[in-house]
Chains A and B, each alone.
Chain A
């Protein structure tokens, strides 16, 4: 018996690092 399983779906922006420039002033 094969039961359907929910497959997680991830948003595209999860895969990209959020590189925030250092604040200067």
Chain B
């Protein structure tokens, strides 16, 4: 069975539009200006972190709260099944597309972060450890 990760009940502050993000090379960018290449290049510099491609396989409403969704991913080359329970407005970064959430209207309303609709088949950026065995 897929593993499940508990999610916090509110979004962290770095997703708010205008938040300053430091890339691995020290460059500073606003969260809304981040591009796919920024994550890829930062992971290349990192000695510990590796970027994985996580494909959205299923999106369901959470049974515990109407504010949450359960997103099932197929992670990495081994297509490991991982489910996460996240707030509807939680933004994921989709390769070549940018920030996307289950409810982009809420994301834009709460964070002012420009956001697309997260859909089955979208390939999100996720992290794993480089030395994961």
> What total count of A-B pairs have CB within 8 Å?
80
Contact between B80 and A22, CB atoms less than 8 A apart? yes
Interface residues in A1-25 by Cβ distance below 8 A to B read: 7-22
Q: Give the CA-CA distance A4 to B81 in the complex, in Å.
A: 47
- Choice from B2, B14, B49, B127 contacting A10 with Cβ under 8 Å: B14
Contact status of A19 and B20, CB under 8 A, knowing A9-B28, A12-B38, A14-B12:
no
Say what secondary structure dominates the interface of chain B.
strand
In angstroms, how far is the closest chain B Cβ from the Cβ of A17?
5
Residue of B nearest to A7 (CB): B20
B interface list, Cβ under 8 A from A: 1-3, 12-15, 19-24, 28, 31, 34, 38-39, 42, 46, 49, 51-52, 54, 73, 75-76, 78, 80-82, 84, 92-93, 124-128, 132
A interface list, Cβ under 8 A from B: 7-22
Give 15 pairs: A residue, B residue, CB < 8 Å, sorted on A: A7-B20, A8-B14, A9-B21, A9-B22, A10-B14, A13-B127, A15-B21, A17-B54, A17-B124, A17-B126, A18-B127, A21-B3, A21-B80, A21-B128, A22-B1
